[in-house]
Structure 1
Amino acid sequence: MGLMGEKETWTPLLATLLDQSTHHHAQYQIVTLDNRGVGGSSKPFVRYTTALLADDARLLLEHLGWTHVHVVGVSMGGMVAQELAYAAPHLVRSLALIVSSPGHTTGAFPGITQFATYLTMAKFGFARTMHDIVDTMMSTLYPKHYLAETASDGRTMHEMLHQFHLELLDGVTFNLAGVHGQHAAVFGHNMSPARLEAVRAHGFPILIVGAAHDWILHPKNADYLFQHLEGPHTRKVFFDTSGHCVQNQMRREVAAALHDHFAVEP
């Protein structure tokens, strides 16, 4: 998952992917993990890199005995997935990069909108209550027009998602080593064109998902990744109305795209 995101953040997308009432209800064996620095994983005070987090994921897969898997990463998780595909391509059956980036020095440089969001995120350290943290978080993850929509139960999407994120954060404590480490990993991430093209050369199916209202990672990163990963089994899906948290906002569409992606035979 993304920066400081725990494995439970996957719940809406996975519930949709595994919904028996949909056309993409095939059963998958799934593992989600807490990257080091959050949740139940260790939080050592060492230098974190996306390559190090990818090696953690590799060790988990080897421990489980999983030898050929569909790798899906969101945001920072997509950065980790890039490193895993580069370092251990033999483990990768397919690769999906959702609202991710090859790195600030390589891909699309953050624009005014992204920098404004980073300033907003800095308010987390001054929030008085968990409700304040969630409100700030939601303003960076979802566009206003979506939050104003009405959910099926009559609540606004803002009300429903506020409750969802509040429950996710219930009991969560942030560790200084983890916060510092994961931020360092994101800002140090750098997949050069040559490294991306080395990933492409392995020929496994690649799905890239972008969002026009992504105020955390510039939307043009999807174009950059597609340009350097383009091949006969590479596909890009771009959502014009979605924010950074596309796996929640467009969960049905993302689940359908993943289902089709998993079915591709290289």
Structure 2
Amino acid sequence: MGGMIAIELAATAPERVRSLSLLVTTRGAYLPHPRMWKPFLGSVLGGSMKCVMELLYPSTILGNPIDGREDLSVQDVLTKYHATPQSENAYPPLYALVAQGVACLTHYVSDERLELVAKAGFPILIVGGKQDILIPPENSVALIERLKGDHVRTLFFETGGHGAFFQFAEEIADGLAQTIERAKL
């Protein structure tokens, strides 16, 4: 949802934007992959960490060992991370999660607003994951097609899920740094 908000802000006040990075996002009004519903509902309604993992990451990577730690799998590390509260705040109530989901599924950034962003000329980074079931890769492709230009760079990960920024932290951090640097030129 953050990417949708960022696109709206960039379209509303492009003169105030230095760069735009869109990580596994959509222009809105999209249909998630049908496989998304079971893990989504299991994580939101049941608090199932197994469902969170299934929602964010391709199953093909979860059993992989951590380099140099044969006793530790990718799933072990990611489960521990996602199970650790990031703040003292309570988890959001169910109605807030439902409202966020409805906003994501019904909001839509028009071609005209995307054109405003594209014409502004500031550096744009679009990151997509081919295995993302929450926001399927077609959404990143649509953004690439609508925002195209020399100012747009892309990172597309063959084994990336919706949690691609955890899977490919170094590559994405480098892409973000390069995008910010391009804004300084």
Same fold at TM > 0.5: yes
After superposition, the C-alpha distances for 1:61-115 in whole angstroms (9 at most, x for unaligned) are xxxxxxxxxxxxxxx111111111111223210001011011135xxx44xxx12
Separation in 1, partners of 2:99, 2:45: 20
* Equivalent in the alignment of 2:10: 85
101, 104, 115: which one aligns with 2:26: 101
1:46 maps to what in 2? none
Query: Which residue does the alignment assign to 1:140?
Result: 55
Alignment pair present for 1:160 and 2:77: yes
The 1:187–1:236 alpha-carbon spacing in structure 2 relative to 1, beyond 3 Å, is: same
Instruction: Tell me which protein shows more helix as a share of its residues.
Output: 2
Amino acid at match of 1:262: I
Q: Secondary structure at the match of 2:18?
A: strand
Q: What is the number of residues matched between the two proteins?
A: 181
Return the structure number with greater relative CO, CA threshold 8 A, min gap 6: 2
Matches within 5 A, 1:51-70: none
Aligned-pair CA distance for 1:123? 2.1
Distance 1:126 1:258 in 2: 34
Match of 2:142 in 1: 224
Instruction: Return the TM-score normalized by structure 1.
Output: 0.63
Name the SS for the 1:231 alignment partner: coil
1:176 deviates by: 3.8
2:110 matches 1:192: yes
* In structure 2, distance between residues paired with 1:246 and 1:203: 26
Cα deviation, 1:170-192, whole Å, max 9, x if unaligned, reads 86332244223312221222011
2:18 and 2:53 map into 1 onto residues whose CA distance is: 33
Distance in 2 between residues matched to 1:224 and 1:79, nearest whole Å? 13
Instruction: In structure 1, list runs of 5 or more residues that go unmatched.
Output: 1-75
CA contact (8 A) 2:45 2:94 kept: no
What is the CA RMSD across the aligned residues, in angstroms?
A: 1.9
